[in-house]
Every structure is written in structure tokens, then in C-alpha cells.
């Protein structure tokens, strides 16, 4: 269906929620464009207040063949939350599903609705003296439902895993309008297929996640953070291994940054300053944390001294205060944002086997230099997960629009190297619309058939997020 929704049909949808829960054109506008402006769409934005309202909307959509685009915080970077320009699709927003239904510190679980922001979920855990460890640059706006739908990663994966590892149960409205209450909180449950896993990473193509049971962890009582200057990515990898070996489970963050990324940050983010006296080609932000009080700063200092003796570390600063810790992290968390201030940036969210990260960065950088000699590679990210945001900023002074026209060709250059390293072209942000047509090149026919079989079984009318992941 490509004709815009008729006023009569829109009125039927609107009647299922309160009048203020269907956004007018002005209020809807920011929700119809994805964060980088790569996708723009049209259509009504409907914000149900509970699971029953979601189910009623989906039942009407199923009856009338209306397509649904699920949306959380609208921070996704692959266009999965943006409707197409036809006006025929409805955006089903979780903005009003914001209840924290339960926090149980004894069981180390909490039950939250899909529209709760990640920051609010973290805060609810803190109030109960617990930790919810997922942490992303977009945590103030992204939602638990979006985190589940994209199997979000972020800076804590090295210790706690992806969202997939943090979800015990899911409640979802299926494409036929039925509610599946899978809000189990069991750590062990082998009663057949683990259906919640289907929704984790499904990018809104199999139904709308309305709530989830999340795992909590003991709150950290000790924290040590270091900003380390290094000569090379090989040294960064060797240092990561050393810290993992010496600190074990206390290693809860290990982020790689290049000098150019630090330069961009110092140039564009007010109030930032270089934590080290002299510039270095590469940096690691290392975080140790533990629920047991005391001793981590000393341990980190010892490990860094050992690394320095081995010639791995050029210089390092250990945060002496909460403010300094925040300042270190601010540099890392701002690294995506500041690239926009340097003109066009072509993104690659890739992963390769950990042992080959350094080699990958070298080869991909050489491939980019051959393709676009003056383009500026900004390779940073979650070293401990083998996940690099291999972004390429436009040459200084180049025309942004002309540069961005080389997006697909640049992707092909970098993805060829990823392929040679047996990596993934969508490590964190998912496939969405942006990478959909690349999927047949990286998945076997058997895998694609299985994915289509699952989609057809759950959503035979193709109502949920058409054109996302699969065409």
C-alpha cells in the first residue's frame, strides 16, 4: 500500500488513544527524520500508553493492511525507525510506555517498559544500589525497546555483553495483535525455543517490544580510569590483553581512540582538554571497576608501570577525581558527534576477530588512502569487542555533498577488507534500511532463507517495518 492513509482510517487509529497521543505535523516532524538526516519520511506518529492500546492499534493495522514502523528514541543510525515518504505507514512510538514496573534488588532484576530511556533505567538501578551496565553515547534519548530491537552494544560489552546478554524476558505485541507475555525472570529455562531472542536484534520487523525483564549487577564501589597514550594499534591490543590478564573481571571498559579524534574533540567540544602533555598516535581509555571497595587505582598503576617497562605505553594519566573520570569519558563519548563538525563523515560500524583488529585498521586505512587520498580516517571504538567505528571524514575544504556521494563506493572499499578479515559489516547499529542491500553479499542463501521463513511465520502480511533488514 503506497497511498497516504485516508482521513477516515487515521480517525479510526486516533480513536484508540487519547487525542494528545496522535502527534500533529509540527510535533511529529523531528520523529520523521533519522539523526543524521539520511532518511526522511511522512506519516502519523501514534503514542499508545499501555500494552493493550498497542495491541488494539496493531489489530486495526492487521485488519486494514496498514504498515507499522516501531520507534523508540529515534537515535538509530541505520534508518530502521523512519517511515517511508508515502504517508501510508504509521509510526508506533513507545514514547509513553515509560513505567518502571518493578525493581527487585534481591533477585537482581528490573521490569521496565519499552519507552524508558536507557539513562532512566540506569538511574532506577542506581536508586536500588545496583548497576544496569549497558552504556551508549545516546543513552539520554535511546530507549530500552530500541536497545532490545537493535541488540545495542556500547562501552560495557567487554565485561557485561550486549543487550542480548542483559535481557531475561520480553513482552511483545505480535503482528496479528496478540500480546506475548514472556516476562520471565528465570536464569535457567530450557522449555523449548528461546523466543525472546527472536525479538532481540529484530529491528522492529517481528512486532513491538512493550516491556522487558533486565538483569542487574552489584553497584561498583571502586573505580579506576586511565587515559593512555600509545604508539600503535598493535601496542593497544597488547595492552588490552595485559590488562585483561592482570585485572580479570574488573576490566569494564577499553576504548580505542586515534589522535585525529582527540584533535576533533579538543577543537569542537567546549571545555575539553588533552589529558596528556604531548600528542600520541593512539589512545586507550581503560576502566577498572569492582563491587569490592578499594585498591583498583593502585592495581591499574601497577599494570601500567609493567606495560611501560615492556615499552607498550608512552604516557598515561589515572583519573584523580570523579570530575577527571567524567572528563576522560567525555572525550570518548563525544567522538561521534564532533566528526559532524568536520564536514561529511562516511561511517563503517564493523567488527573483526579481536586478534586482527590492529592489522585490520592498517589495511583498511591503506585501502581508503588508495581510494580517497586526502580523506581522514577516524577509527575508534570498542577495542575489547573487536568493534571499530571506522569513520572517514571528508578531506579538509572538500565539498560535503560531493564527498558524501562516494558513500557506497567507500563502503565497498572498507567492507572488502572487513570481508577478508572474516568480520561483520554491522557490528552494533544493525542493518536497517542503510545496509539491507549489502546483506545478500555477506549472508549465505541458507541464512537468508531462514530469516525470511521467520519473518513470514510471524508477520505473513509484512506489516512490521517493511524494507528493514529484508526487502
**Residues in contact with ligand FAD by the rule CB under 6 A:** 35, 69-77, 80-81, 94, 114, 136-138, 142-143, 145-147, 149-150, 152-154, 203-204, 208-209, 336, 428-429, 432, 465, 468
The minimum distance between CB 152 and ligand FAD, in angstroms, equals 4
Distance from C-alpha of 254 to C-alpha of 265, rounded to nearest angstrom: 19
CB nearer ligand FAD, residue 108 or residue 143: 143
Residue 339 DSSP SS3 = helix
Strand blocks (E) in 249-293:
251-258, 282-290
The minimum distance between CB 148 and ligand FAD, in angstroms, equals 7
The minimum distance between CB 244 and ligand FAD, in angstroms, equals 20
**Is 279:230 a contact under the CB 8 Å cutoff?**
no
CB nearer ligand FAD, residue 149 or residue 296: 149
Residue 338 DSSP SS3 = helix
| Residue showing the smallest CB distance to ligand FAD in the complex | 146
CB nearer ligand FAD, residue 60 or residue 120: 120
Neighbours of 305 (CB within 10 A): 12
CB nearer ligand FAD, residue 94 or residue 391: 94
- Rounded to 5 degrees, φ, ψ at 120 are -70, -35
Question: Count of residues for the chain?
Answer: 471
The minimum distance between CB 275 and ligand FAD, in angstroms, equals 21
CB nearer ligand FAD, residue 108 or residue 205: 205
Helices (H) and strands (E) in the chain, counts: 17, 18
The minimum distance between CB 207 and ligand FAD, in angstroms, equals 7
Q: What is the DSSP string of 124-186?
A: HHHHTTEE---B-TTTTT-BHHHHHHTT--BTTHHHH--GGGTEEEEEEE-TTS-EEEE----
The minimum distance between CB 28 and ligand FAD, in angstroms, equals 14
CB nearer ligand FAD, residue 33 or residue 317: 33
Amino acid at each position: 500500500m503506497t497511498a497516504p492513509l485516508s482521513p477516515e482510517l487515521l480517525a479510526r487509529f486516533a480513536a484508540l488513544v487519547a487525542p494528545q497521543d496522535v502527534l500533529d505535523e509540527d510535533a511529529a516532524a523531528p520523529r520523521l527524520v533519522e539523526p543524521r538526516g539520511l532518511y526522511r519520511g511522512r506519516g502519523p506518529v501514534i503514542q499508545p500508553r499501555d500494552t493493550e492500546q498497542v495491541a488494539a492499534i496493531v489489530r486495526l493495522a492487521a485488519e486494514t493492511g496498514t504498515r507499522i514502523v516501531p520507534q523508540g528514541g529515534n537515535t538509530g543510525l541505520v534508518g530502521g525507525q523512519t517511515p517511508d515518504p508515502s504517508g501510508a505507514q504509521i509510526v508506533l512510538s513507545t514514547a509513553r510506555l515509560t513505567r518502571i514496573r518493578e525493581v527487585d534488588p534481591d533477585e537482581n532484576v528490573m521490569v521496565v517498559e519499552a519507552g524508558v530511556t536507557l539513562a532512566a533505567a540506569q538511574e532506577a538501578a542506581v536508586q536500588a544500589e545496583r548497576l544496569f551496565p549497558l552504556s551508549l553515547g545516546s543513552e539520554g534519548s535511546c530507549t530500552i525497546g530500541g536497545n532490545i530491537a537493535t541488540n545495542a552494544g556500547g562501552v560495557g560489552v567487554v565485561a557485561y555483553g550486549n543487550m542480548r546478554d542483559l535481557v531475561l524476558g520480553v513482552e511483545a505485541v505480535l503482528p496479528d495483535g496478540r500480546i506475548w507475555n514472556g516476562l520471565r525472570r528465570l536464569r535457567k529455562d530450557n522449555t523449548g525455543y528461546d523466543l525472546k531472542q527472536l525479538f532481540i536484534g529484530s529491528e522492529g520487523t517481528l512486532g513491538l517490544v512493550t516491556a522487558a525483564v533486565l538483569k542487574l549487577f552489584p553497584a561498583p564501589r571502586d573505580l579506576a580510569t586511565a587515559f593512555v597514550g600509545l604508539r600503535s594499534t598493535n601496542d593497544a591490543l597488547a595492552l588490552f590483553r595485559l590488562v585483561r590478564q592482570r585485572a580479570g573481571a574488573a576490566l569494564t571498559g577499553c576504548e580505542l581512540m586515534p589522535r585525529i579524534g582527540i584533535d576533533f574533540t579538543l577543537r569542537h567540544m567546549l571545555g575539553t582538554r588533552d589529558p596528556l602533555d604531548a600528542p600520541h598516535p593512539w589512545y586507550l581509555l581503560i576502566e577498572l571497576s569492582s563491587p569490592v571497595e578499594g585498591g583498583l587505582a593502585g592495581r591499574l598503576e601497577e599494570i601500567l608501570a609493567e606495560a611501560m617497562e615492556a615499552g607498550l605505553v608512552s604516557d598515561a594519566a589515572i583519573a584523580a577525581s570523579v570530575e577527571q573520570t567524567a572528563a576522560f569519558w567525555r572525550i570518548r563519548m563525544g567522538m561521534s558527534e564532533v566528526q559532524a563538525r568536520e564536514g561529511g563523515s562516511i561511517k563503517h560500524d564493523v567488527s573483526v576477530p579481536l586478534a586482527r583488529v590492529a592489522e585490520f585498521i592498517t589495511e583498511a586505512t591503506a585501502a581508503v588512502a588508495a581510494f580517497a587520498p586526502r580523506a581522514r580516517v577516524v577509527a575508534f571504538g570498542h577495542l575489547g569487542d573487536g568493534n571499530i567505528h571506522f569513520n572517514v571524514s571528508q578531506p579538509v575544504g572538500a565539498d560535503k555533498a560531493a564527498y558524501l556521494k562516494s558513500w557506497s563506493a567507500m563502503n565497498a572499499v572498507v567492507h572488502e577488507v572487513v570481508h577478508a578479515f572474516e568480520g561483520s559489516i554491522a557490528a552494533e547499529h544493525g542493518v536497517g534500511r542503510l545496509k539491507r542491500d549489502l546483506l545478500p553479499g555477506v549472508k549465505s542463501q541458507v541464512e537468508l532463507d531462514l530469516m525470511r521463513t521467520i519473518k513470514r511465520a510471524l508477520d505473513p502480511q509484512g506489516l512490521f517495518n517493511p524494507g528493514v533488514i529484508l526487502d
